[in-house]
Amino acid sequence: MRRVSQAEIAEKLDISRTTVTKALNDDPNISDRTKEKVKGAAQELGYIVNNIGRSLVNNRTMTIGLIVPKIAHSFYSTLLEGIYNAANMRGYDIIPMVSFEDCEREEKMIRKMLAMHVDGIVMGISETTTSLDSFQIVEKNNIPLVFLDRALPYHHFSEITTNDFEITYNAIEFTIQKGYKNFGFLGGQPHLSSGVNREMGYRKALKDHNLSIDENQIITGGYSKQFGYENLIELHKLNSLPELLFCATDEVALGVYKAAKKLGIKIPDDVAVIGFGDLEIARYLNPPLTTISMPIDKLAEEAIATLVAEIENPNREKTVNKLEGSLIVRKSI
């Protein structure tokens, strides 16, 4: 299929092709009157900008790759919208892909992104990703990458997350002050920053207040509703229900609610529950879920701002930015 060329615009207006190119790129040396004529003729002829050709000249595609672990989730769908807005404000387009929490799929997506010559990648890593091996090719190609929300230890990339340790510590301390003394923890993956830091915050708060830590009531390894459901049933079976159960995500808390209903356990009378993430559904549960709200818009903005800064300045130092979450107190405690 033949495309309209800049040469045809130049022929129509009887001007040079160089003038057409400069006018379409809003070159300040071209008069507004000429720009208006060129853009009018381009629209009339149906001219489409050749971004491939432009990228060869500028050595940039003005695209950013985005890989997230899931999309049917209010946190990630809201995050995606924020990333689109932040990128578009800076003149970049987003190419989104979803790993579905699968590390092998994730690695293939990284390679696809590089093959598409994205200028940088924002990465929400999957919960099954346990090593940095799949990211070595990004580093070798000198493509900037920013970990968002989740990260692996000892990496060499920028990282934008929530202050998981501090906000978990504060949440547990708040409930201790309300009189709770027996705690349980349903945590995320112990190899990811979110899982590690939330568990560390939980342990430190109990230790600082001289409360015992029951290792049988600390269960890690998942972020899903099924994880919460299965483990509340297991704790009940072992007669090891805590007074308060801290869940590493709201999804885990949803599973706890489902299991509690099946077992006839009343929230918060028999067991109080705290989630993490403030999913939209959290406020509509019965009782409404006490949870930790994450600054989603700021996470998106900071991730794109950091990545674009590294695209434009490859020698820029890497950033580790932990944004402040907040405890939303509802009726589940």
Could you tell me if 209 and 241 are in contact, meaning their C-beta atoms sit under 8 angstroms apart?
no
Decide which of 23 and 242 is more confident. 242
56 has a pLDDT exceeding 60:
no
241 has a pLDDT exceeding 90:
yes
Predicted confidence band at 55 (pLDDT cuts at 50, 70, 90)?
Answer: low
What class, spelled out in words, does domain 58-162+296-322 have in CATH? alpha beta
The answer to whether domain 58-162+296-322 and domain 164-293 are alike in fold is yes
Question: How is domain 164-293 classified at the CATH fold level?
Answer: Rossmann fold (3.40.50)
Sorted by where each begins, the domain ranges of the chain are: 6-49, 58-162+296-322, 164-293
Could you tell me if 159 and 302 are in contact, meaning their C-beta atoms sit under 8 angstroms apart?
no
Predicted local confidence at residue 287, as pLDDT: 97
Q: Compute the average pLDDT of residues 187-207.
A: 94
Q: What is the pLDDT of residues 99-113, one digit of tens each?
A: 999 999 999 999 999
1 has a pLDDT exceeding 60:
no
Decide which of 21 and 160 is more confident. 160
82 has a pLDDT exceeding 90:
yes
Q: Compute the average pLDDT of residues 313-328.
A: 94
Q: What percent of the chain has pLDDT over 90?
A: 76
Q: Compute the average pLDDT of residues 116-124.
A: 94
Could you tell me if 104 and 125 are in contact, meaning their C-beta atoms sit under 8 angstroms apart?
no
Predicted local confidence at residue 174, as pLDDT: 98
In 37-56, which positions are buried (b, 16+ CB within 10 angstroms) versus exposed (e)?
bbbebbeeeebeeeeeeeee
Predicted local confidence at residue 6, as pLDDT: 86
pTM of the model: 0.82
